[in-house]
Amino acid sequence: MGYHWDFAIVFRFAPALLHGTVLTLELTAITIVFGTLLGALVEVLRRVPSRLASFVVALYIEVFRALPLLVLLVWLYYLLPLAWGIRISSFLTAAIAMTVNLSAFAAVTIRSGLEAVPRGQNEAALALGMNPSQVLFRIVLPQTARVLLPNLLGLYITMLKLSSLASVIAVYELLHSANTVISQVYRPLEIYTVIALIYLILVLPMSYLSKRLESRVQPRPA
Amino acid sequence: MLNRPSARVPGRRLLTMVLSALLLCTLGCSRPSPQEALSGYRIPTLRRIQQDGTMRVGYVVYPPTVVKNPNTGELSGHFVDAARFIADVMKVRVQFVEATWSTFVAGLQSGQFDLSIAATYRTIPRATAVAFTTPIIYIGNGAIVRRGDTRFRSLSDFDKPAITIAVAQGEASHEYALQHLPTAHLTVLSTADLSQPLTEVIAGRADVGLADAWTTAQFAAKHPEVVDLFAGQPYDLTPVGWAVRQNDTEFLNFVNTAVDYLISTGRMRDWERKYGAHWVYPKVTWEITQ
């Protein structure tokens, strides 16, 4: 059966799709910044010499890595007002859910990055008279960053794509904006084709950057 | 072995402080009882709205009852006009909160909003979760099939094992198909887009797409490759109403009074005509008592 494509309607609603794209980027940017910081904090807490701290951190990581983001989104959106009378916007709820989700994965990634630096280098640097902050910023972090960045970028790309789940609680990111347009024009194929292209435009540069960083991390053959 | 408690204390202290703060916050925060949680508030909804000066109204975009301009975000539609009118008369502000078909019930129950103006079929299973107003309009269901497909003339033609029917999960068409078309193969889509089952027909993944009569009519008008099989003769006519929380009796009485007033004075129909709606109403004859 032939289908009559009509992309003209997309131009009529370009502002709506642009607004949805901007909101997607805002939501993702907030998630990346706060999710990474929270993940780093979780990893720092894990290094506190306390069994209780280790238990709490381990529980946090396991719970928020296991929970599907969609479940976490809807659960938070309705649990917060019902259990604690906290009413926040759907955007803020989505930002919190995505931040917490990312932080669990970021903590594990940061840990593996830090552990990639041989302990002997720490000890050697201390023995040479460097203080702990010099060791951290001149020895550990530069090496860690080379390992961390490609992995973190991979997580960030995933969060960008997962931001579409926020549509289920009516956050006006790209997918929800698209669904609103579809409810007016009943041309889903054209709209979904365009938002697929938009996602490609957003994701592909990040994927390329991630691959470039990965190739720089890989040791050169002798 | 040296005992170095001072090295362990700062981390333990920090952790204890953080956990204690979280615990205090959880215990100290004012939590509603289950009954209050269900109603969403400690004081009756109607009184709270009048005290706060704000009525929170949940909506799901479903033209022409609720129309959202995708470019400007501006809300319109005859249900929106009705809600604004009620708020104006009450001299309160109306705050619109968007929901989706799958979340508006939870939105009511969790107190995200006080009144849902989503055009919801008043069915028995749904009435166990929310309290519906009196019927505002009646909507039936329609069916989309490919143009030139001569296999289908009536609903009974759908009920065959070789026929694939696409429906949106939880939608009235889904319920109808489960009850009345038991031998057909159902493709149940978990989607907020009511036209997605109809797109299945265009894509050749389903023989029939079921949805409400307005959606099928609009879809067929935009897609010449399909036809609205029951155009102008919707089946399974079902009353549509607004919803409030299950135990919110006082507020429900108020909203029912408002709805009855808007219908009997003709205001509701005027708004519907403004947006080009063609809903079904029972025919009412008025007479003056002799």
Predicted local confidence at residue B3, as pLDDT: 41
Same domain assignment for residues B174 and B228: yes
Which pair of tokens denotes residue B259?
Answer: 């709805």
**A184 alpha-carbon distance from chain centroid:** 32
CATH number of A10-216: 1.10.3720.10
Predicted local confidence at residue A5, as pLDDT: 86
Same domain assignment for residues B182 and B94: no
B62/B68 Cα distance (integer angstroms): 9
Which of B29-43, B194-208, B250-264 tops mean pLDDT?
A: B250-264
SS3 B177: helix
Same domain assignment for residues B39 and B108: yes
Closest C-alpha to A82, from B141, B116, B108, B76: B108
Same domain assignment for residues B40 and B72: yes
- The C-alpha of A158 sits at a distance from chain B's nearest C-alpha, in angstroms, of 22
Predicted local confidence at residue B5, as pLDDT: 42
B48/B43 Cα distance (integer angstroms): 6
B137/B256 Cα distance (integer angstroms): 13
Same domain assignment for residues B104 and B168: no
Same domain assignment for residues B165 and B245: no
Mutation test of the interface with chain B: which of A82, A174, A189, choosing the one with the most B Cβ atoms within 10 A?
A82
pTM for this prediction: 0.79
Which of A91-105, A197-211, B108-122 tops mean pLDDT?
A: A91-105
Q: Which residues pair with B165 in a beta bridge?
A: B186, B208
Q: Are B169 and B189 in contact (CB under 8 A)?
A: yes
Predicted local confidence at residue A167, as pLDDT: 92
If one compares B250 and A126, the residue with the highest pLDDT of the two is B250
| H-assigned helices in chain B | 5-28, 34-39, 45-52, 78-90, 104-109, 124-127, 172-180, 196-202, 213-222, 249-264, 267-274
- The C-alpha of A89 sits at a distance from chain B's nearest C-alpha, in angstroms, of 9
CATH label of the domain that carries residue B79 = 3.40.190.10
Contacts of B279 (CB under 8 A, 6+ apart): B137, B138, B139, B240, B272
**B276 alpha-carbon distance from chain centroid:** 20
Same domain assignment for residues B161 and B223: yes
Q: Are A46 and A57 in contact (CB under 8 A)?
A: yes
pLDDT tens by residue, B27-82: 444 454 444 444 445 689 999 999 999 999 999 999 999 999 999 999 999 999 99
SS3 B167: strand
Same domain assignment for residues B247 and B131: yes
Q: Within 13 Å of residue B29, how many CA atoms lie on the same side as its CB?
A: 14
Q: Which residue of B has its CA nearest to A5?
A: B223
How many domains does one find in chain B?
Answer: 2
Q: Are A144 and A114 in contact (CB under 8 A)?
A: yes
Rg over CA atoms, chain B: 25
> Is residue B6 in some structural domain?
no
pLDDT tens by residue, B99-158: 988 888 888 988 889 999 999 999 888 898 899 999 999 999 999 999 999 999 999 999
Instruction: With a cut of 50, say whether residue B13 has pLDDT above it.
Output: yes
Same domain assignment for residues B202 and B127: no
Q: Any chain B CB within 8 A of the CB of A119?
A: no
Predicted local confidence at residue B220, as pLDDT: 96
Domain span holding position B55:
34-137+239-274
Q: Any chain B CB within 8 A of the CB of A3?
A: yes
> Is residue B20 in some structural domain?
no
> Is residue B81 in some structural domain?
yes
- The C-alpha of A131 sits at a distance from chain B's nearest C-alpha, in angstroms, of 17
Predicted local confidence at residue B28, as pLDDT: 47
Cis amide prior to B64 (ω within 30 degrees): yes
Closest C-alpha to B277, from B235, B230, B218, B234: B218
Instruction: With a cut of 70, say whether residue A202 has pLDDT above it.
Output: yes
Closest Cβ opposite residue B100 in set A170, A185, A189: A170
> Is residue B290 in some structural domain?
no
If one compares A123 and B165, the residue with the highest pLDDT of the two is B165
pLDDT tens by residue, B149-179: 999 999 999 999 999 999 998 888 998 999 9
Model confidence at A6, pLDDT cuts 50, 70, 90, reads confident
- Cα→Cα distances A68→A29, A62, A64, B169, B283, Å: 20, 12, 8, 21, 50
Predicted local confidence at residue B60, as pLDDT: 94
Predicted local confidence at residue A164, as pLDDT: 96
**Where along chain A do its domains lie?**
10-216
The interface predicted TM-score (ipTM) is 0.71
Instruction: With a cut of 90, say whether residue B197 has pLDDT above it.
Output: yes
Same domain assignment for residues B54 and B168: no
Same domain assignment for residues B53 and B78: yes
Model confidence at A185, pLDDT cuts 50, 70, 90, reads confident
Which pair of tokens denotes residue A95?
Answer: 């930002």
- The C-alpha of A1 sits at a distance from chain B's nearest C-alpha, in angstroms, of 7
Contact residues on chain B for A23, CB-CB shorter than 8 A: none
> Is residue B125 in some structural domain?
yes
Same domain assignment for residues B41 and B82: yes
Predicted local confidence at residue A83, as pLDDT: 84
Contact call for A4 and B225, based on CB within 8 A? yes
Contact residues on chain B for A175, CB-CB shorter than 8 A: none
Rg over CA atoms, chain A: 22
Q: Which residue of B has its CA nearest to A177?
A: B70
Q: Are A145 and A117 in contact (CB under 8 A)?
A: no
Closest C-alpha to A189, from A12, A53, A5: A5
